[in-house]
Structures are given as structure tokens and as C-alpha cells.
Structure 1
């Protein structure tokens, strides 16, 4: 996506560019249901879409279901059901309709029925997970995710979602396992490395936490979150075992961290100067 490209499409949507805008939103997964309903409903009324009509109807249905626009939701679903009476995709849309009405049990029955016929349908699995989250049933969402991951073990998006749910539940060791899986899939992701390091720190695994904060600093030596994490973890280890303060590893890591922090803050203007003053007040530890 080029800078300004989406904004230009929005500007042209009222003068004949609505179809192009909706296609762009689908391709780039842009979530603005108000725009979809505004422009998609006009396109549907025009009836000049050919085979694209069904794609637009589905797009408008999803927007209407989210916004609570019952008339457009019901109209689109009726049209799609008439055209594709045996479609599992349309059955999934019926589940979304039930969700929009707050009929969670009926929606779940529809999703389970689809999965009984087509257990490899990842979209229905994810819809079931989303429904549990939306209805506030976090344990059920976690169970659904674990069932999904039994078959689709490399889905990083779902591993991340599971990790976040475990964090929400305060089950940090299980969350750490999820982020460990994510690191295996993408070993240079700063977000994943740092979150895993912080989870290890929170669970008391300071040695491994320091290793992953060190890895984050290796990947990006100017990342303040990584540098402060390494500094804090190193200090916690020294506090736990005073003899560490005299070790060569401790001295080198603290020196490295402080130098990197000073270098990072020097380029941050007035705010950086405040941080530098605070760093100057941090007591240094020297070997004796």
C-alpha cells in the first residue's frame, strides 16, 4: 500500500470509484464497516456488478451485522442464501447473523455443524474462537484455540491470540510457552522476543529472561524496551545474588547497557536530556 493510496480511493468513491475502494479494503484487510455499508449498499442497489455482486453482498452483510443494520444484514443474507443454498460459506454467515442477535448458542450450533462436515475449515474455527471472546467466554475461547492448534500447529496468529488470552487470565507460564512457539516461527521478531523475555522475568526465570533481553539488544541495539529490560534483569539477578556484582559478565553487560541507553537518549531532544540526567544518577557498580 502506497502512502495516501487508500485516502485517494476514499475521495474517489462517490464519483464512480466505490468498487475499487471495496476491493482495496478486502485485499488490505482495512476495517471500516461504515464505509463498506455506505458505498457497498449503493453498489448493490445499482445491480450492475455482474459476478462481483455476491462478493459485495457478503462484504456489506459483514459490515451491516457489525453495525447492527438489520435491514441490510437480512437482505444480503437472503440474497446469498437464495443463490448458494448449499454453501458452507453462507452457513457461516448465518452463524454471524446469530452472533449479531446475541444468539450465541444457536451460532455455536451452526459452527459445530460446519466443522463436523469440514473439520479443516479454518475460518469457521476462528469464527468460533472470536464468538467465545466476544461473548466473554475466555475459557471456552482458550479451549477452542487449543483444539484448533492440535491440527494447525503453525498458525502464528492463533498462537499469539492464545498467548494474549493466557496473559489476560494471569497464566503467565502458559503464555510464555505460546511466545516460545512464536519465536521458533519468527526468531527475529522484536515484539515476540521482548514479550517472551518479559514473561520469563515475570515468572521468575531471570537467567533465561536476561538471555532473551540480550538477544533483543543484539537484534536492535537502540531499542529502549530491550535495553531497560536487560538493565533491570541484570540488576534483579545481582540483587538475588550479591556476588554477581563482581562478576565480569555483570560488569560488561551493565557497561554495554548504560552506553547504549546514553547513545539512544542523546538523539531524543529535551526528553532525552531528562532521561540522561536520570541515567547519570544511577549508581555504577565496579568490581573490587
Structure 2
């Protein structure tokens, strides 16, 4: 298995593609098509259909409805529709993107009431109204699937939008217990602890924890702009000149080598102007 194939499978399994910029999505989609053309004979059935599922999501994100439909049909032909909750969830996602939320809800309402994946999808369709009722739905889902990283993350972001940063932090710490090497979550925790510090600057512990999580994120992913930018800001506030210089030098290197998306490069310029 090539390094690119392994990377694509990791992207699929982690769901990180949902956080990609448009440029990252296009690049990943191009790499996927190349792998499926060149390495198809070297892939196991599991690897092949995992990559087809990734192709479904990427093409849907890019607005390539026909291509995503073709990917979905390949999965339906292999695994069936009626017997596979996972395929049903994909079909609902396709309907939501192409025909609207109500079409997806109507389709899922016909699925068995005890089918957890369909239940999860029905709950996610309510995400436009992130309120206390939505929190209750997510907590109820976690009673059934306590190791569901996606649900914990959604609950964390919902708590954050409801201005409950402490509970948001608790949710993302739960994610780290399940996925200790998730660098995006480490960076998110850095942002959340920094948000607490900005509310009350007398609590230096929150600033220290923010630095700790940002540092862990770039330890796990050395080119993570989000992590280095967080370190640049927090180390300036803490007076840690050594780490501040390290973050500044690393962002400068990323900027000069253009080893990031255009969105991240613009963000580097913005954050440097503020620091």
C-alpha cells in the first residue's frame, strides 16, 4: 500500500475531510481518483469500498452530484440498502444534499426505530437548531454509543455555541480519550482554554493549558497552522519568548515554502499582524 493510499484511508476513518478547506478537498479528491485508477488491483475489498465512501463524501462536498450518486450506487450494489444502516445513512446524506432536509427525514422515518445509525442521522438533521433540546438528543445518543467521536465533537461545538465552554472542553477531552492522537481536537482544546482565559485573565492555569494543547497539536502534526497560530498568540500573552519565537519561525517557514492551503496562508498573515 502506498503512502498516499494510507493517508486517504486515515482521512476516511477519522472524518477529518469534513474540516477541509475547498482546496484541500479538491486535492484529496484528485489523489483519490489517482489511487483508484492506479492501485485498484492492490487494494483489499475493505480498502476499496472505504475509498469509494470517501469519494462519495468528497464529490458531494464539491457539488459533483452525479459522481457521488455513482459512488453511492457502487456501495448499494455491494452491501444492499435495506439491510445496511450505514448505506441508509449515506443515502440520507445524498438526499439531504440534493433534494433537501425534508426528503432525508422522510426516508429515515421509514427505517427501523432501533437502528442507531439512522437515529444518529435523524438527530444530525436537527443541527441547524443547536439548542437545549438538541443537546438532550445528543446526550441520549451517547447513552447508546458512548465511544462515538463524531457525536462527542458535535456536542462539544453545541455547548460552545450555547456559551458553555467548560462543558465543551469536557466533550473534547472525551474525544481525546478515544483518539489520543487527534491533533485537530488538541488544537480545539487549546482554543477553548484560551477562550476561558480571555473571559478571566486572572486564571493563568487556563492559559497554561491552552499552550499545552496547542503544543501537543503541533507535536502530532508539525505543519498544523491552527496549532502554531494558537501558540504564537498564547505564548505572547504568557511571555514565553522561546516558544513564541519557535512558533513565529515555523509559521514563517510554512509561509515561505507555501506548504499550506491558501486559506491557511492568509490566516498566517492575519495572525502575524496581530502578534
Give the TM-score, by structure 1 length: 0.54
| Change in CA separation of 1:221 and 1:258 when aligned onto 2, cut-off 3 Å | farther
**C-alpha contact 1:217 1:223 (8 A) present in aligned 2:** yes
Structure 1 residue 140 corresponds to structure 2 residue 125: no
CA contact (8 A) 2:236 2:244 kept: no
| Structure 1 Cα separation of the partners of residues 160 and 211 of structure 2 | 20
Change (3 A) 1:234 1:152: same
Q: Could you list the runs of 5+ residues in structure 1 that have no partner in the other structure? A: 11-22, 44-48, 70-95, 239-252, 283-288
Distance (whole Å) between structure 1 residues aligned to residue 225 and residue 79 of structure 2: 49
Match of 1:179 in 2: 172
| Corresponding residue for residue 153 of structure 1 | 146
User: How far apart, CA to CA, are the structure 2 residues paired with 1:158 and 1:180?
Assistant: 13
Quote the Cα distance in structure 2 between the aligned partners of 1:4 and 1:223: 20
- Structure 1 residues 237 and 262 mapped into 2: Cα distance closer, same or farther (>3 Å)? closer
Q: Report the CA distance shift for 1:280/1:166 in structure 2 as closer, same or farther (over 3 A).
A: closer
Segment drifting more, 57-66 vs 158-167: 57-66
Q: How many residues align?
A: 209
CA deviation vs aligned residue, 1:135-174 (integer Å, no higher than 9, x gap):
x364332211101112311111111111122223332221
* Higher relative contact order (CA closer than 8 Å, sequence separation 6+): 2
Match of 1:228 in 2: 229
On the 8 A contact 1:128/1:144 being kept in 2, the answer is no
Mapped pair 1:100 → 2:111: no
Cα distance in 2, alignment partners of residues 68 and 280 from structure 1: 43
Asked if structure 2 preserves the Cα contact closer than 8 Å seen for 1:145 and 1:158, the reply is: yes
C-alpha distance in structure 1 between counterparts of 2:192 and 2:274, whole Å? 28
- Asked if 2 retains the 8 angstrom alpha-carbon contact of 1:37 and 1:64, the reply is no
Pick the structure with greater CA Rg: 1
Where does residue 128 of structure 1 map in the other structure? Answer: 122
CA distance in 1, matches of 2:219, 2:230: 13
Q: Which of 30, 41, 55 pairs up with 2:56?
A: 30
> 1-side partners of 2:223 and 2:69: how far apart?
45
